[in-house]
């Protein structure tokens, strides 16, 4: 019989002897997609927006968003879908994400109408925006919690079975992507610093050679004069050496002042 229009489609795995729902197959595709965080064109903002999109697509929620620790212990909005943005912006002061982040565990609110005492600002605003329930899961990598993923539902009640576990998986994928990007940025900064140090060393050696030849002294004496002049005149040694090499620094004045 042909499939009923609109009904979930299934595919049989002959080797496993079972069927996979369209949702299971889509989840597999999505987690492969989210695992690809090492591409040279990786964009963290796009990645986090994609995580929020996929949560709305595959979980029983109407909105989703992510908050990240800004490095000073304050949560900042990183991505939002389905009208979650305003609610995320309120949560540095109160809300499920803040509680989740501080407690390093899942926070649930199956009925926001009963959360006025818990979140006196957040809960009424969420209800006004049409949300009736919410939950948050930590963005965690081992013991490190770097933020929270917030999910919003249009009806009261606990999340359907399995959705919290899937939300944790989405949060874990987001955390891995964030931390890999931070590690890449640190590597790039360190590489740039190392290259700058090596370049400065080359220029310094050139400047020592120029002065040693010009003054008829040893390179150690030339270096001592460079270093003394840089310290006395509060200029960076690398900049002074560059000036010697390019001829913008008067070597005679340098020897007189640094000698």
What residues make up the domain containing 91?
10-187
Residues 150 and 230 in one domain: no
Residues 135 and 245 in one domain: no
**Domain's final residue, options 165, 187, 209:** 187
Q: What is the pTM of this model?
A: 0.66
Q: For 1-26, what is each residue's pLDDT tens digit?
A: 444 444 444 344 444 445 557 877 77
Inside any domain, residue 1: no
Residues 49 and 164 in one domain: yes
Per-residue pLDDT at 126: 94
What is the tally of structural domains in the chain?
2
Residues 233 and 211 in one domain: yes
Mean pLDDT of 181-196: 77
Answer whether residue 220 shows pLDDT above 50.
yes
Q: For 64-78, what is each residue's pLDDT tens digit?
A: 999 988 878 888 888
DSSP for the chain reads -PPPTTSPPEEEETTTTEEEEHHHHHHHHHHHHHH----TT--HHHHHHHHHHHHHHHSS-SEEEEEEE-SSS-EEEEEEESS-HHHHHTTTTSSHHHHHHHHTS-EEES-GGG-TTTSTTHHHHHHHTT--EEEEEEEEETTEEEEEEEEEESS-SPPPTTHHHHHHHHHHHHHHHHHHHHHHHHHHHHHHHHHHHHHHHHHHHHHHHHHHHHHT--HHHHHHHHHHHHHHTT--HHHHHHHHHHT-S-HHHHHHHH-
CATH of the domain at 18: 3.30.450.40
Inside any domain, residue 112: yes
pLDDT band with cut points at 50, 70 and 90 for residue 228: confident
Answer whether residue 128 shows pLDDT above 90.
yes
């Amino acid at each position: 019989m042909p499939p009923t229009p609109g009904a979930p489609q299934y595919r049989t795995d002959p080797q496993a002897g079972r069927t996979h729902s369209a949702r299971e197959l889509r989840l597999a595709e999505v987690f492969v997609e989210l695992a690809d965080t090492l591409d040279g064109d990786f964009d963290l903002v796009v990645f986090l927006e994609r995580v929020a999109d996929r949560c709305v697509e595959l979980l029983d929620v109407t909105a989703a968003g992510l908050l990240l620790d800004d490095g000073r212990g304050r949560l900042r909005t990183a991505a939002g879908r389905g009208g979650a943005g305003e609610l995320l912006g309120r949560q540095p002061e109160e809300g499920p994400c803040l509680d989740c982040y501080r407690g390093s565990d899942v926070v649930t609110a199956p009925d926001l109408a009963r959360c006025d005492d818990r979140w006196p600002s957040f809960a009424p605003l969420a209800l006004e925006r049409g949300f009736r329930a919410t939950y948050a899961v930590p963005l965690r990598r081992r013991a490190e919690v770097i933020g929270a993923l917030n999910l919003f539902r249009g009806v009261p009640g606990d999340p359907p079975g399995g959705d919290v576990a899937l939300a944790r998986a989405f949060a874990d994928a987001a955390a891995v992507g964030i931390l890999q990007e931070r590690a890449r940025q640190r590597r790039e900064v360190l590489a740039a610093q190392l290259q700058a140090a090596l370049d400065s060393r080359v220029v310094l050696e050139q400047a020592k050679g120029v002065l040693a030849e010009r003054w008829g002294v040893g390179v150690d004496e030339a270096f001592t004069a460079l270093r003394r002049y840089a310290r006395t005149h509060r200029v960076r040694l690398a900049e002074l050496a560059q000036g010697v090499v390019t001829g913008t620094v008067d070597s005679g004045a340098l020897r007189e002042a640094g000698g």
